[in-house]
Amino acid sequence: MFYWFAKTFIVGPLARLLFRPWVRGMHHVPAEGAAIIASNHLSVADSIFLPVMVSRPISFLAKKEYFSGRGLKGAIVRRFFLLANQLPMDRAGGAASLKSLEAGEVALREGRLLGIYPEGTRSPDGRMYRGKVGVARLAIETGLPIIPVAMIGTDKVQPIGKLVPHLRRVGIIVGEPIAVQRGDIHNRAALRELADRVMRDIQRLSGQEYVDRYAADVKAEIAERAPRG
């Protein structure tokens, strides 16, 4: 109810009025049935504009830190993300990340749209980084299609570290679904191949420069070089 109300009467009208988002290829999103929506990730605003412009509700895998804050602020943020159909995702890798993917699999088996950012975190510099294999694992486990999506200009609207957004247009390009057959989720080579294909399709839509490294590693290096104190 909160998701529908906010999208219909609050967030949706404001986003359309202030940022005038343009969309191409939205017909690729199925009117019913489950599918995985895989998007590049430039800004926190991606998780606002994409759900606003897709007519059906989207459940997003969001970083678990949004759900573990302390005090009143933490409680408010946690409640907001839960009401907004966000599912906690542990990005540490290994067994913790696999456990987090189970929530996404449940959503898919319920016939919902599941949104995921294969890069695992926002791009630190506007370029596209290597995708993690979680998106491939979900698709091969369920046999559901992956719909590549490119967010355009959201990093200019709300750059990393900026709370107040800039008023400018954003775009969303939806590509043709990638058909996936159920298979062996333990076949690491198959997972890697599919994840790489997803990123290539997104890159073709977004026009971003591709970097064959994980964005989280680059962010860690940037943080290490940053002045301390």
CA separation for the pair 60, 57 (Å, rounded): 10
What pLDDT is attached to residue 208? 98
Per-residue pLDDT of the chain (229 residues; tens, 9 = 90+): 667 787 888 888 999 999 999 999 999 999 999 999 999 999 988 988 999 999 999 998 876 776 777 787 667 666 666 666 777 776 666 666 667 688 899 999 999 999 999 999 999 999 999 999 999 999 999 999 999 999 999 999 988 877 788 999 999 999 999 999 999 999 999 999 999 999 999 999 999 999 999 999 999 999 888 776 5
What pLDDT is attached to residue 29? 98
Place of tokens 């049935």: 33
CA separation for the pair 80, 44 (Å, rounded): 14
Catalogue all structural domains in the chain, each as residue range(s) with its CATH number.
2-225 (3.40.1130.10)
* Residue 70: count of CB within 10 angstroms of its CB: 7
What pLDDT is attached to residue 46? 92
What pLDDT is attached to residue 62? 73
CA separation for the pair 152, 25 (Å, rounded): 14
What pLDDT is attached to residue 80? 64
What pLDDT is attached to residue 163? 79
CA distances, 165 to each of 8, 12, 26, 152, 213 (Å): 21, 16, 25, 15, 28
* Residue 169: count of CB within 10 angstroms of its CB: 13
Residues 65/90, Cβ–Cβ less than 8 Å: no
Residues 153/169, Cβ–Cβ less than 8 Å: yes
What pLDDT is attached to residue 103? 85
> Of 194, 217, 92, 201, whose CA–CA distance to 137 is shortest?
194
